[in-house]
């Protein structure tokens, strides 16, 4: 399907005024929920995502336990009112798949060998959706895991690149996702550059893929800085409260 509007003009301006290498606006806050062991609220363009981490706690039912290490159970859930046409509440095939790839990505960075038979539950609620919710969810999950004090090798971070109107661009917006040529969300461990999640749909040449991949990596590093600031911010305000 083609958009009736030009997604990117000859000067390289996109519909929302961004240049090809610009991210949408990102706002992250850690420790926003009272009951959760760790939590994070994240706004990424028009996306609003809330993540709560519980655990490590005993994995139930018993048969899912691993006697040698913990399991990470991410659950990606979209609110009924987060999309244009109301979504029926509850899991569908799409959210089950996203939950699985996010769980696997997180399992790589959590020191799961420290908590045999335990589960680390990561609940991702998408409250407002506008393209790129899995990246937003995984990025918020990284911050929430830190906030919960779960031992990690690194803070995982995600970002997407894609192709619109024949050009490779960073962080697709809604129209760009719907009518663009390709979408490549990745998640990395920024300290080592290891890729934790990678999905691609659409059509890219080898050269375009390499360009998009490098661009998405660059995006991840930018988002990673915002994550670290949010975590620091939480501890600084906590320290200020103690001093009072």
Partner 1 sequence: MTIVPAIKRDYITKLAEQGKRIDGRGFDQYRPIEIETKVVNKAEGSARVKIGNTQVLCGIKMDIGEPFPDTPTTGVMSTAAEFVPLASPDFESGPPREDAIELARVVDRGVRESQVIQLEKLCITPGEKVWLVFIDIHILDYDGNLFDAASLAALAALLTTKVPISRFIKNLDEKDRASWQQQLLDIYTIPGIDEAPFGSDDTNNTQVTINDFPLPMIEPPISCTAVKINDFVLFDSCFDEEIIADARLTVATDHKGDIRAMQKGLSGSFSREEIQKVIKGALDNGQEIRKILNQSIGK
Q: What does the binding site for partner 1 look like in residue numbers (CB under 8 A)?
A: 33-37, 39, 46, 48, 50-52, 54, 57, 75, 77, 79-86, 89-91, 121, 123, 125, 127-130
Closer to partner 1 by Cβ: residue 121 or 208? 121
Do strands 167-170 and 157-164 pair parallel, antiparallel, or not at all (unpaired)? antiparallel
Least distance CB 220 / partner 1 (angstroms): 25
Closer to partner 1 by Cβ: residue 40 or 170? 40
For the beta carbon of residue 20, count every other beta carbon within 10 angstroms: 16
Length, in residues, of the chain: 244
Least distance CB 51 / partner 1 (angstroms): 8
Find all residues with CB under 8 Å of 96, minimum gap 6, and list them.
none
Closer to partner 1 by Cβ: residue 59 or 204? 59
CA distance 77 to 126: 6
Least distance CB 62 / partner 1 (angstroms): 15
Closer to partner 1 by Cβ: residue 142 or 190? 142
Least distance CB 22 / partner 1 (angstroms): 20
Closer to partner 1 by Cβ: residue 91 or 193? 91
CA distance 23 to 42: 14
Least distance CB 217 / partner 1 (angstroms): 29
CA distance 241 to 235: 10
Under 8 Å between Cβ of 220 and 158: yes
């Amino acid at each position: 399907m083609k958009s009736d509007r030009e997604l990117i003009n000859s000067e390289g301006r996109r519909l929302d005024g961004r240049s090809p290498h610009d991210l949408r606006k990102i706002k992250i806050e850690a420790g926003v929920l009272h009951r959760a062991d760790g939590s994070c609220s994240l706004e990424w363009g028009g996306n609003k995502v809330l993540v709560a981490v519980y655990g490590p706690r005993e994995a139930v039912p018993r048969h899912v336990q691993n006697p040698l290490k913990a399991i990470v159970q991410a659950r990606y859930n979209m609110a009924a009112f987060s999309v244009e046409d109301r979504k029926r509440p509850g899991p569908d095939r799409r959210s089950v798949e996203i939950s699985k790839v996010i769980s696997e990505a997180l399992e790589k960075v959590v020191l799961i060998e420290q908590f045999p038979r335990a589960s680390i539950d990561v609940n991702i609620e998408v409250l407002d959706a506008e393209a790129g919710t899995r990246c937003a969810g995984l990025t918020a999950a990284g911050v929430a895991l830190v906030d919960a004090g779960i031992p990690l090798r690194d803070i995982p971070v995600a970002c997407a690149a894609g192709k619109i109107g024949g050009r490779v661009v960073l962080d697709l917006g809604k129209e760009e996702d719907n009518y663009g040529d390709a979408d490549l969300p990745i998640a990395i461990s920024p300290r080592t550059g290891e890729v934790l999640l990678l999905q691609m749909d659409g059509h890219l040449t080898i050269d375009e893929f390499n360009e998009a991949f490098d661009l998405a990596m660059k995006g991840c590093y930018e988002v990673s800085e915002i994550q670290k600031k949010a975590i620091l911010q939480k501890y600084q305000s906590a320290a200020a409260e103690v001093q009072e």
